[in-house]
Protein backbone atom coordinates (compact mmCIF):
# COMPACT_ATOMS: atom_id res chain seq x y z
CA UNK A 1 0.00 0.00 0.00
CA UNK A 2 1.45 3.38 -0.99
CA UNK A 3 1.13 6.84 0.49
CA UNK A 4 -0.14 8.17 -2.85
CA UNK A 5 -3.45 6.28 -2.63
CA UNK A 6 -6.42 8.42 -1.57
CA UNK A 7 -8.34 8.32 1.69
CA UNK A 8 -11.79 6.81 1.07
CA UNK A 9 -14.85 8.23 2.82
CA UNK A 10 -18.55 7.45 2.65
CA UNK A 11 -21.80 8.69 4.13
CA UNK A 12 -25.47 8.19 3.40
CA UNK A 13 -25.47 11.61 1.76
CA UNK A 14 -23.69 14.93 2.14
CA UNK A 15 -23.48 15.13 5.95
CA UNK A 16 -20.07 13.46 5.90
CA UNK A 17 -18.72 16.44 3.99
CA UNK A 18 -18.39 18.17 7.38
CA UNK A 19 -15.80 15.48 8.18
CA UNK A 20 -14.19 15.87 4.76
CA UNK A 21 -13.88 19.62 5.38
CA UNK A 22 -11.97 18.97 8.61
CA UNK A 23 -9.74 16.40 6.88
CA UNK A 24 -9.07 18.74 3.98
CA UNK A 25 -7.93 21.40 6.45
CA UNK A 26 -5.73 19.09 8.54
CA UNK A 27 -4.28 16.97 5.72
CA UNK A 28 -4.00 19.25 2.68
CA UNK A 29 -1.54 16.93 0.89
CA UNK A 30 -3.90 13.95 0.89
CA UNK A 31 -6.18 12.93 -1.97
CA UNK A 32 -9.71 12.06 -0.85
CA UNK A 33 -12.39 9.98 -2.58
CA UNK A 34 -15.85 10.66 -1.13
CA UNK A 35 -19.01 8.65 -1.78
CA UNK A 36 -22.46 9.91 -0.82
CA UNK A 37 -25.07 7.15 -1.00
CA UNK A 38 -27.88 9.62 -1.65
CA UNK A 39 -30.11 7.08 -3.39
CA UNK A 40 -30.62 5.25 -0.11
CA UNK A 41 -30.56 7.99 2.50
CA UNK A 42 -31.34 8.34 5.30
CA UNK A 43 -29.52 5.46 6.96
CA UNK A 44 -30.77 6.52 10.37
CA UNK A 45 -34.27 5.04 9.96
CA UNK A 46 -33.07 1.71 8.51
CA UNK A 47 -32.50 -1.56 10.38
CA UNK A 48 -28.96 -2.40 11.54
CA UNK A 49 -28.83 -5.26 9.03
CA UNK A 50 -29.72 -2.94 6.15
CA UNK A 51 -27.25 -0.27 7.23
CA UNK A 52 -24.46 -2.84 7.51
CA UNK A 53 -25.23 -4.12 4.00
CA UNK A 54 -25.24 -0.60 2.57
CA UNK A 55 -21.98 0.25 4.36
CA UNK A 56 -20.20 -2.84 3.03
CA UNK A 57 -21.39 -2.04 -0.50
CA UNK A 58 -20.35 1.62 -0.33
CA UNK A 59 -16.97 0.72 1.11
CA UNK A 60 -16.46 -1.90 -1.57
CA UNK A 61 -16.96 0.71 -4.29
CA UNK A 62 -14.24 2.86 -2.73
CA UNK A 63 -11.86 -0.02 -2.11
CA UNK A 64 -12.12 -1.32 -5.66
CA UNK A 65 -10.84 2.06 -6.84
CA UNK A 66 -7.88 1.86 -4.45
CA UNK A 67 -7.80 3.60 -1.06
CA UNK A 68 -5.31 3.38 1.81
CA UNK A 69 -7.73 4.09 4.67
CA UNK A 70 -11.49 4.13 5.02
CA UNK A 71 -13.41 6.76 7.00
CA UNK A 72 -17.03 6.02 7.93
CA UNK A 73 -18.21 9.63 7.83
CA UNK A 74 -21.61 8.62 9.19
CA UNK A 75 -22.53 8.08 12.83
CA UNK A 76 -25.28 5.58 12.03
CA UNK A 77 -23.02 3.42 9.87
CA UNK A 78 -20.22 3.67 12.43
CA UNK A 79 -22.52 2.60 15.25
CA UNK A 80 -23.77 -0.57 13.56
CA UNK A 81 -21.31 -1.48 10.78
CA UNK A 82 -17.77 -0.75 12.03
CA UNK A 83 -17.14 -4.38 12.97
CA UNK A 84 -18.67 -5.68 9.74
CA UNK A 85 -16.44 -3.43 7.65
CA UNK A 86 -13.27 -4.41 9.49
CA UNK A 87 -14.21 -8.05 8.98
CA UNK A 88 -15.09 -7.59 5.30
CA UNK A 89 -11.95 -5.60 4.45
CA UNK A 90 -9.23 -6.70 6.91
CA UNK A 91 -6.41 -5.19 4.86
CA UNK A 92 -7.75 -1.62 5.12
CA UNK A 93 -7.68 0.47 8.32
CA UNK A 94 -11.19 1.71 9.14
CA UNK A 95 -11.98 4.75 11.29
CA UNK A 96 -15.47 5.77 12.38
CA UNK A 97 -16.72 9.01 13.88
CA UNK A 98 -18.19 7.71 17.16
CA UNK A 99 -15.02 6.98 19.13
CA UNK A 100 -13.38 10.37 18.40
CA UNK A 101 -16.63 12.14 19.33
CA UNK A 102 -16.91 10.17 22.57
CA UNK A 103 -13.33 11.04 23.51
CA UNK A 104 -13.96 14.73 22.83
CA UNK A 105 -17.13 14.75 24.93
CA UNK A 106 -15.36 13.14 27.88
CA UNK A 107 -12.73 15.87 27.75
CA UNK A 108 -15.31 18.65 27.38
CA UNK A 109 -17.70 17.60 30.17
CA UNK A 110 -16.86 18.71 33.70
CA UNK A 111 -19.80 17.05 35.45
CA UNK A 112 -19.88 13.85 33.41
CA UNK A 113 -23.49 14.56 32.38
CA UNK A 114 -23.48 14.25 28.59
CA UNK A 115 -26.33 14.47 26.08
CA UNK A 116 -26.12 12.90 22.64
CA UNK A 117 -28.40 13.83 19.75
CA UNK A 118 -28.34 11.63 16.67
CA UNK A 119 -30.50 9.55 14.34
CA UNK A 120 -32.90 6.95 15.66
CA UNK A 121 -30.56 4.11 14.71
CA UNK A 122 -27.51 5.61 16.43
CA UNK A 123 -29.43 6.28 19.63
CA UNK A 124 -31.12 2.87 19.57
CA UNK A 125 -27.75 1.14 19.23
CA UNK A 126 -26.29 2.98 22.27
CA UNK A 127 -23.05 3.50 20.34
CA UNK A 128 -22.10 6.75 22.08
CA UNK A 129 -23.22 5.56 25.47
CA UNK A 130 -20.95 2.51 25.21
CA UNK A 131 -17.99 4.50 23.88
CA UNK A 132 -18.33 7.20 26.56
CA UNK A 133 -18.73 4.70 29.41
CA UNK A 134 -15.61 2.87 28.24
CA UNK A 135 -13.70 6.11 28.86
CA UNK A 136 -15.64 7.52 31.82
CA UNK A 137 -17.58 4.71 33.51
CA UNK A 138 -19.21 7.15 35.92
CA UNK A 139 -20.62 9.37 33.14
CA UNK A 140 -24.37 9.83 32.85
CA UNK A 141 -25.35 9.79 29.19
CA UNK A 142 -28.77 10.59 27.77
CA UNK A 143 -29.57 10.09 24.11
CA UNK A 144 -32.21 11.87 22.03
CA UNK A 145 -33.09 11.03 18.41
CA UNK A 146 -33.56 14.15 16.27
CA UNK A 147 -34.47 12.82 12.81
CA UNK A 148 -35.91 16.08 11.46
CA UNK A 149 -32.48 17.73 11.80
CA UNK A 150 -31.25 15.59 8.90
CA UNK A 151 -34.05 16.80 6.61
CA UNK A 152 -33.55 20.42 7.62
CA UNK A 153 -29.84 20.25 6.88
CA UNK A 154 -30.39 18.50 3.55
CA UNK A 155 -32.84 21.26 2.56
CA UNK A 156 -30.41 23.97 3.61
CA UNK A 157 -32.75 25.26 6.34
CA UNK A 158 -30.11 26.03 8.95
CA UNK A 159 -31.46 28.88 11.08
CA UNK A 160 -34.49 30.99 11.78
CA UNK A 161 -37.69 30.59 13.75
CA UNK A 162 -38.75 27.26 12.24
CA UNK A 163 -35.37 25.57 12.81
CA UNK A 164 -35.07 26.89 16.35
CA UNK A 165 -38.63 25.76 17.04
CA UNK A 166 -37.76 22.19 16.01
CA UNK A 167 -34.53 22.36 18.05
CA UNK A 168 -36.43 23.58 21.11
CA UNK A 169 -38.97 20.77 20.78
CA UNK A 170 -36.16 18.21 20.79
CA UNK A 171 -33.77 19.79 23.27
CA UNK A 172 -35.85 21.60 25.88
CA UNK A 173 -36.69 18.39 27.78
CA UNK A 174 -32.97 17.66 28.06
CA UNK A 175 -31.85 21.04 29.31
CA UNK A 176 -34.83 22.98 30.71
CA UNK A 177 -36.85 20.37 32.54
CA UNK A 178 -33.98 18.36 33.99
CA UNK A 179 -32.97 18.84 37.59
CA UNK A 180 -29.89 21.05 37.92
CA UNK A 181 -27.72 18.19 39.18
CA UNK A 182 -28.71 16.02 36.20
CA UNK A 183 -28.53 18.70 33.51
CA UNK A 184 -25.95 17.90 30.81
CA UNK A 185 -23.03 20.28 30.45
CA UNK A 186 -22.01 18.80 27.08
CA UNK A 187 -24.01 18.10 23.92
CA UNK A 188 -22.62 15.70 21.32
CA UNK A 189 -23.74 16.28 17.74
CA UNK A 190 -23.94 12.58 16.94
CA UNK A 191 -24.80 12.98 13.26
CA UNK A 192 -22.58 14.57 10.63
CA UNK A 193 -25.53 16.65 9.38
CA UNK A 194 -26.02 18.38 12.71
CA UNK A 195 -23.00 20.76 12.74
CA UNK A 196 -24.75 22.88 10.11
CA UNK A 197 -27.50 23.52 12.66
CA UNK A 198 -25.08 24.36 15.46
CA UNK A 199 -26.04 28.04 15.47
CA UNK A 200 -29.73 27.30 15.96
CA UNK A 201 -28.92 24.64 18.55
CA UNK A 202 -26.69 27.09 20.43
CA UNK A 203 -29.49 29.66 20.50
CA UNK A 204 -31.78 27.09 22.11
CA UNK A 205 -29.45 25.59 24.73
CA UNK A 206 -27.58 28.77 25.63
CA UNK A 207 -23.89 29.67 25.83
CA UNK A 208 -22.81 27.50 28.75
CA UNK A 209 -23.22 24.03 27.24
CA UNK A 210 -20.18 22.59 25.42
CA UNK A 211 -21.06 21.42 21.90
CA UNK A 212 -18.95 18.58 20.51
CA UNK A 213 -18.66 17.93 16.78
CA UNK A 214 -16.70 14.78 15.96
CA UNK A 215 -15.39 16.05 12.60
CA UNK A 216 -12.25 17.68 14.00
CA UNK A 217 -11.41 14.82 16.35
CA UNK A 218 -11.96 12.33 13.52
CA UNK A 219 -9.44 14.20 11.38
CA UNK A 220 -6.92 13.90 14.21
CA UNK A 221 -7.58 10.16 14.45
CA UNK A 222 -7.07 9.75 10.69
CA UNK A 223 -3.80 11.68 10.82
CA UNK A 224 -2.53 9.54 13.71
CA UNK A 225 -3.49 6.27 11.99
CA UNK A 226 -1.81 7.22 8.72
CA UNK A 227 1.33 8.33 10.54
CA UNK A 228 1.47 5.12 12.58
CA UNK A 229 1.26 3.03 9.41
CA UNK A 230 3.74 5.13 7.45
CA UNK A 231 1.01 6.16 5.01
CA UNK A 232 0.94 9.91 5.65
CA UNK A 233 1.51 11.87 2.47
CA UNK A 234 3.92 14.74 3.00
CA UNK A 235 5.13 15.75 -0.46
CA UNK A 236 4.39 19.37 -1.38
CA UNK A 237 1.30 20.33 -3.33
CA UNK A 238 -2.38 20.29 -2.53
CA UNK A 239 -4.30 17.05 -2.52
CA UNK A 240 -7.44 16.71 -4.59
CA UNK A 241 -10.97 15.57 -3.86
CA UNK A 242 -13.19 13.39 -6.05
CA UNK A 243 -16.89 12.91 -5.44
CA UNK A 244 -19.15 9.92 -6.12
CA UNK A 245 -22.89 9.80 -5.56
CA UNK A 246 -25.58 7.21 -6.16
CA UNK A 247 -28.35 9.63 -7.20
CA UNK A 248 -29.10 13.16 -8.45
CA UNK A 249 -25.74 14.71 -9.26
CA UNK A 250 -26.99 18.33 -9.40
CA UNK A 251 -28.61 18.04 -5.96
CA UNK A 252 -25.46 16.48 -4.49
CA UNK A 253 -23.37 19.33 -5.90
CA UNK A 254 -25.79 22.00 -4.70
CA UNK A 255 -26.35 20.69 -1.17
CA UNK A 256 -22.78 19.43 -0.83
CA UNK A 257 -21.44 22.91 -1.53
CA UNK A 258 -23.33 24.13 1.53
CA UNK A 259 -21.88 21.41 3.77
CA UNK A 260 -18.35 21.74 2.42
CA UNK A 261 -18.32 25.53 2.45
CA UNK A 262 -17.02 25.71 -1.13
CA UNK A 263 -18.47 25.20 -4.57
CA UNK A 264 -18.80 21.68 -5.97
CA UNK A 265 -19.37 21.70 -9.72
CA UNK A 266 -21.75 19.01 -11.05
CA UNK A 267 -19.12 17.94 -13.57
CA UNK A 268 -16.84 17.06 -10.64
CA UNK A 269 -19.36 14.53 -9.30
CA UNK A 270 -19.57 11.00 -10.74
CA UNK A 271 -22.77 9.00 -10.66
CA UNK A 272 -22.19 5.39 -9.54
CA UNK A 273 -24.39 2.36 -8.92
CA UNK A 274 -24.09 0.13 -5.87
Q: Determine the Cα–Cα distance for residues 170 and 48; give it in Å rounded to an integer.
A: 24
The burial class, CB within 10 Å (0-12 / 13-18 / 19+), for 146 is buried
Residues recognised as catalytic: 74, 191
Q: Per the annotation, does 12 bind a ligand?
A: yes
Q: Per the annotation, does 66 bind a ligand?
A: no
Q: Determine the Cα–Cα distance for residues 174 and 113; give it in Å rounded to an integer.
A: 11
Q: What's the DSSP call for residue 72?
A: E
Q: Per the annotation, does 59 bind a ligand?
A: no
Q: Per the annotation, does 193 bind a ligand?
A: yes
Q: Please, what is the end-to-end C-alpha distance for the chain in angstroms?
A: 25
Q: Per the annotation, does 45 bind a ligand?
A: no
For 101, other C-beta atoms within 10 Å of its C-beta total 29
Q: Which residues contact 33 (CB under 8 A, 6 or more apart)?
A: 6, 7, 8, 9, 62, 65, 67, 241, 242, 244
The burial class, CB within 10 Å (0-12 / 13-18 / 19+), for 210 is middle
Q: What's the DSSP call for residue 177?
A: S
Q: Per the annotation, does 11 bind a ligand?
A: yes
Sheet holding 32-36, edge to edge: 94-96, 69-72, 7-11, 32-36, 241-245, 269-271
Measured between alpha carbons, how far is residue 136 from residues 113, 114, 183 in Å?
Answer: 11, 11, 17
- DSSP per-residue codes, 49-60: HHHHHHHHHHHH
Sign for the CA dihedral angle at 97, 186, 258, 46 comes to: positive
User: Which residue ranges make up the annotated binding site?
Assistant: 11-12, 43-44, 75-76, 192-193
Q: Residues at the annotated binding site for substrate?
A: 11-12, 43-44, 75-76, 192-193
Amino acid sequence: MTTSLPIGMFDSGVGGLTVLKALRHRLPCEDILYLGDTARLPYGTKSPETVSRYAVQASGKLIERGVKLLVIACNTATSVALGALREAYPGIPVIGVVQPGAQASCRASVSGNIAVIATESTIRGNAYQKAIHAIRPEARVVGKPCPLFVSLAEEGWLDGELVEGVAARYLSPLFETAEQADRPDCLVLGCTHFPLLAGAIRNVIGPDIAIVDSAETTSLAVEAELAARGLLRTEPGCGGTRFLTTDDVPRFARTGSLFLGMNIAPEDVELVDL
